[in-house]
């Protein structure tokens, strides 16, 4: 397929930004300098980047307790995220949100919803607003595999379906709902089979192949934007870090883990770019240097930013 | 000027707001079905004829209703979402408590949530799952305003204030006060109808009103209990006890100025609510009055509420459950050391 070289490189750059951001955050966290808890996105970068690259800047996403990748892919700066993770008022949610609630509606990302499936009705309501105002915009709800067993998933996907709302449901199936194997919790081979229950298309794709994700998302977004209603897209992937901080992942079988690492999306896409001669190793190294420099600069500014006044906690409950 | 029931006044309020502001729309169960009921208590009856795409009938999916309403609200629409019975809102507890109430705060104050939630409440011969007064549960949730109209005038005015507010507002409406007609009429209805001005008006959120002036004791109540408090005050007057009745109208924000001024004057206070006593909103108001007005109070603040039980079905048991004018009057007599009459 004939992709523009710059486009392909931008996909790689965003995936690498997410990976390096998460690795840096993990280090900061283990060093004990970053407060809170973290749920990280390493291994799933192809999904956020593939999907968000199929969106316009005024399309809107909802995210989950694992939101850093979605935020970066939707255009939030790593600085606005790091300031938030450090609890500074200069962060994207002025320090009130933290890791699990990063977002910026002006960039098209609702503050992330850390209740499993909680973002699905919200994204569907955003789509309702777009349809109500006849705006050609699309909402996307990212969710983990565990979300398909929540009532909110059922209620919202059904409502999106009956009203043909411009919304796309993206299930990131990393095989584990926290530590519980998802396929012990559903009697299905594919989570996308759930779509049939709502009368909407469902498709399962290799979520570690950013271009396959992009193509699928582009089609689903186009359907949504042209009034044909929602699509349920299951992206198969694997979390190559813990569920949350200090999770040693003892529930992931060694062989499965090794095999998954072979298919992790960033290295795969890098190899694809090299093989197709879209870029050479020096080019990739240069991208990495730029990414690392941007992250380092953001880390420094976030750590240097002043802490909020404690009583600022009292603000922002009501307008 | 026209005389209206609460159901009629709410319907007119919705109609006027939808005409005034094209961002306003309603979503709920059975609210716009042709040949249907206009919601469980006729509030939206006929509106679907004039606002076909803005009276949105939903599946029986309360979580979906409130979650979708939130999504629409943060994109700048002004949804009015309702449940048929207040008890059903528990199906949407995550949406209401985790999503709607916290969205603005989590965004660091960047997002506005102009969302109205309507919920009929009150024990009305339907047993435990269609009769609860859940006000207190939401009273303890930061981020939601709460209004409780006792009259048709206030119902319309508070609804309009809620629709124009940029925050989530829960509007609790009492089934015995609606004045719903036809097949949806309630037995045991209390007349809460009012003269409704033809001009546009709002009843500001957070503003209570003195319904009856008095000097010996302040009785603060909402919804049906406000009417029972007025009955109690009438009886007390015959015994020479002068009770001041305050209709709180809003629980969040609570009108501390009016309540404090009244209690400073009367030196005694009674909080009346239909929901269970344990953890009731009256407990919070009573504790705060006790703290802040200890120099003025001549007796401990009293609460009249239902016992800590689910709403029973059997009419004698339901009447035992729900506070009435006798219990309110007894509480006042006890405060004044007059014993039971």
Same domain, B86 and B177: yes
Minimum distance, in Å, between the CA of residue B21 and any CA atom of chain A: 13
CATH number of the structural domain spanning residue A207? 3.40.50.970
Which DSSP string corresponds to A252-308?
A: S-HHHHHHHHHT-HHHHHHHHHHHTTSS-HHHHHHHHHHHHHHHHHHHHHHHHSPPP
Cβ–Cβ contact B140 with A under 8 A: no
Summarize pLDDT for B208-235 with one digit per residue, the tens: 999 999 999 999 999 999 999 999 999 9
pLDDT at B340 over 60: no
Residue B331's pLDDT band, with cuts at 50, 70 and 90, is very high
The predicted structure's pLDDT at residue A246: 81
How many Å apart are CA A41 and CA A30, to the nearest integer? 16
Same domain, B276 and B155: no
| Interval A52-75 mean pLDDT | 98
Please indicate whether, in this complex, the C-beta atoms of A129 and B58 are within 8 angstroms of each other: no
pLDDT at B341 over 60: no
Same domain, B154 and B243: no
- Which residue among B196, B224, B257 closes a domain? B196
Residue in this structure with the two tokens 């000027």, named with its chain if needed:
B1
Is B68 within the bounds of a domain?
yes
Tell me the catalytic residues of B.
130
Q: CB-based burial of residue B142 (10 Å sphere; 0-12 exposed, 13-18 middle, 19+ buried)?
A: exposed
Residue A1's pLDDT band, with cuts at 50, 70 and 90, is low
How many Å apart are CA A91 and CA A79, to the nearest integer? 8
Cβ–Cβ contact B99 with A under 8 A: yes
Please indicate whether, in this complex, the C-beta atoms of A122 and B108 are within 8 angstroms of each other: no
B94 closest CB neighbour out of A115, A124, A162: A115
Please indicate whether, in this complex, the C-beta atoms of B74 and A126 are within 8 angstroms of each other: yes
Is A316 within the bounds of a domain?
no
Is B202 within the bounds of a domain?
no
Residue A245's pLDDT band, with cuts at 50, 70 and 90, is confident
* Lowest-confidence segment of A59-73, A175-189, A242-256, B2-16 by average pLDDT: A242-256
Is A318 within the bounds of a domain?
no
Cβ–Cβ contact B250 with A under 8 A: no
Is B216 within the bounds of a domain?
yes
CATH number of the structural domain spanning residue B149? 3.40.50.970
Is B341 within the bounds of a domain?
no
| Cβ partners under 8 Å of residue B116, min gap 6 | B78, B79, B80, B81, B159, B162, B163, B168, B169, B171
Residue B314's pLDDT band, with cuts at 50, 70 and 90, is very high
Same domain, B35 and B122: yes
Same domain, B105 and B35: yes
Same domain, B261 and B175: no
Is B137 within the bounds of a domain?
yes
pLDDT at A14 over 80: yes
Instruction: Count up the domains in chain A and report the number.
Output: 1
Summarize pLDDT for B111-120 with one digit per residue, the tens: 999 999 999 9
- Which residue among B174, B196, B218 closes a domain? B196
φ and ψ of A215, to 5 deg? -65, -45
Minimum distance, in Å, between the CA of residue A285 and any CA atom of chain B: 36
Instruction: Count up the domains in chain B and report the number.
Output: 2
Same domain, B50 and B92: yes
The predicted structure's pLDDT at residue A94: 97
Residue B171's pLDDT band, with cuts at 50, 70 and 90, is very high
Is B328 within the bounds of a domain?
yes
Is residue B58 within 8 Å of residue B81, measured between CB atoms? Answer: no
Residue B339's pLDDT band, with cuts at 50, 70 and 90, is low
Is residue B243 within 8 Å of residue B217, measured between CB atoms? Answer: yes
Domain span holding position B8: 2-196
The predicted structure's pLDDT at residue A2: 85
Domain span holding position A185: 5-307
| Sheet architecture: strand order including A139-144 | A60-62, A139-144, A167-173, A231-236, A202-206
Is A315 within the bounds of a domain?
no
Enumerate residues 158 to 217 of chain B having a beta carbon within 8 A of any beta carbon in chain A: 165-167
Please provide the average confidence, as pLDDT, over all residues in chain B.
96
Is B203 within the bounds of a domain?
no
How many Å apart are CA B260 and CA B177, to the nearest integer? 28
Task: Please state the pTM of the whole predicted model.
Answer: 0.97
Summarize pLDDT for A150-201 with one digit per residue, the tens: 999 999 999 999 999 999 999 999 999 999 999 999 999 999 999 999 999 9
B258: enclosing H helix or E strand:
helix B256-266
Is A319 within the bounds of a domain?
no
Give the angle B24-B28-B31 at the CA atoms, nearest 5°.
90
């Amino acid at each position: 397929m004939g992709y523009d070289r710059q486009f392909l490189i931008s996909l790689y750059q965003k995936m690498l930004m997410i990976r390096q951001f998460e690795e840096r955050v993990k280090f900061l966290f283990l060093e004990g300098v970053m407060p809170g808890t973290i749920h990280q996105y390493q291994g799933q970068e192809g999904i956020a980047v593939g999907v968000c690259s199929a969106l316009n800047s005024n399309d809107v996403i909802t995210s989950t307790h694992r939101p850093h990748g979605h935020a970066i892919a939707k255009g939030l700066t790593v600085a606005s995220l790091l300031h938030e993770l450090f609890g500074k008022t200069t962060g994207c949610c002025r320090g009130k949100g933290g890791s699990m609630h990063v977002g910026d509606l002006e960039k098209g990302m609702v503050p992330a919803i850390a209740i499993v499936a909680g973002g699905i009705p919200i994204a569907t309501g955003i789509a309702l607003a777009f349809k109500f105002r006849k705006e050609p915009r699309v909402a996307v709800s990212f969710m983990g595999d565990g979300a398909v067993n929540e009532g909110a998933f059922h209620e919202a996907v059904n409502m999106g379906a009956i009203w043909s709302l411009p919304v796309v449901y993206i299930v990131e199936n990393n095989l584990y709902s926290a530590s519980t194997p998802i396929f012990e919790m559903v009697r299905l081979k594919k989570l996308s089979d759930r779509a049939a229950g709502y009368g909407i298309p469902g498709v399962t794709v290799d979520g570690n192949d950013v271009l396959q994700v992009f193509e699928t998302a582009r089609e689903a977004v186009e359907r949504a934007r042209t009034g044909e209603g929602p699509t349920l897209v299951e992206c198969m992937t694997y979390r190559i870090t813990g569920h949350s901080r200090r999770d040693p992942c003892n529930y992931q079988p060694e062989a499965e883990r090794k095999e998954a690492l072979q298919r992790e999306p960033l290295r795969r896409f890098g190899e694809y770019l090299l093989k197709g001669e879209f870029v050479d190793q020096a080019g990739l190294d240069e991208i990495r240097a730029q990414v690392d420099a941007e992250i380092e600069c953001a880390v420094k500014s976030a750590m240097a930013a002043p802490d909020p006044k404690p009583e600022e906690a009292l603000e922002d409950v009501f307008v | 000027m026209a005389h209206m029931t609460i159901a009629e006044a709410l319907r007119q309020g919705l109609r006027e707001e939808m005409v005034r502001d094209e961002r306003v729309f309603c979503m709920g169960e059975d609210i716009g079905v042709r040949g249907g009921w206009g919601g469980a208590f006729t509030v939206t009856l006929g509106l679907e004829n004039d606002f076909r795409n803005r009276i949105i009938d939903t599946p029986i999916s309360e979580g979906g209703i409130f979650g979708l309403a939130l999504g629409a609200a943060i994109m700048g629409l002004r949804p009015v979402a309702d449940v048929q019975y207040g008890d059903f809102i528990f199906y949407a507890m995550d949406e209401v408590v985790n999503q709607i109430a916290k969205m603005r705060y989590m965004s660091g104050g960047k997002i506005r949530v102009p969302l109205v939630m309507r919920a009929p409440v009150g024990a009305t011969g339907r047993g435990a799952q269609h009769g609860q007064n859940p006000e207190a549960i939401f009273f303890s949730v930061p981020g939601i305003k709460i209004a409780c109209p006792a009259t048709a005038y206030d119902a319309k005015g508070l609804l309009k204030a809620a629709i124009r507010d940029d925050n989530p507002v829960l509007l609790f409406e009492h089934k015995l006060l609606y004045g719903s007609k036809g097949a949806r009429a309630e037995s045991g209805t209390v007349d809460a109808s009012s003269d409704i001005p033809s001009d546009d008006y709002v009843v500001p959120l957070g503003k209570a009103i003195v319904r009856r002036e008095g000097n010996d004791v302040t009785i603060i109540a909402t919804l049906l209990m406000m009417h029972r408090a007025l009955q109690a005050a009438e009886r007390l007057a015959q015994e020479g006890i002068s009770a001041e009745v305050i209709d709180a109208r809003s629980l969040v924000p609570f009108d501390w100025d009016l309540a404090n001024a009244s209690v400073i004057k009367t030196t005694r206070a009674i909080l009346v609510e239909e929901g269970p006593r344990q953890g009731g909103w009256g407990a919070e108001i009573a504790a705060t009055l006790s703290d802040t007005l200890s120099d003025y109070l001549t007796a401990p603040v009293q609460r009249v509420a239902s016992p800590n039980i689910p709403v029973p079905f059997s009419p004698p048991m339901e009447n035992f459950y729900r506070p009435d004018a006798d219990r309110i009057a007894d509480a006042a007599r006890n405060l004044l050391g007059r014993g039971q009459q």
